[in-house]
Amino acid sequence: MDGIYLEELVSNLLGEEGLLAAYESSDGLCLPHFRQALAWVRDERVFEALINVQRVVWERLVSHLSEFIRKSDYRFQDESWGEERDAWLRAIAALAGAPFDRDD
């Protein structure tokens, strides 16, 4: 079933009403699904766009991880948590391909 969704993502990534902006503002794909999506690509422009957007998504996650680590330092323990509070869980899910629900 995943293949159908990945094929749709790849087929509709670019274009006037493409999924590129929505994909960039999402948590992206986990590593296993990202690899599968790349296997579906037959167009170099789509390949480059998919890689570039996933890079943006992962760079955002790395930034959240860095902030999580910083706020875990006792010197910053009084700072409130933001988006970074669950970055470590999202990073594990992104690498392992495990589902992650922010509401849990």
Tell me the per-residue pLDDT of 67-94, one tens digit each, with 9 for 90 and over: 999 999 999 989 999 999 999 999 999 9
Report phi then psi at 85, rounded to 5. Answer: -55, -30
Q: Rounded distance, CA 97 to CA 28, Å? A: 11
Distance CA 71, CA 94 (A): 22
Percent of the chain, pLDDT > 70?
A: 97
Q: Along the 104 residues of the chain, how does pLDDT read in single tens digits?
A: 578 899 999 999 998 888 999 999 999 999 999 999 999 999 999 999 999 999 999 999 999 999 999 999 999 989 999 999 999 999 999 999 887 777 65
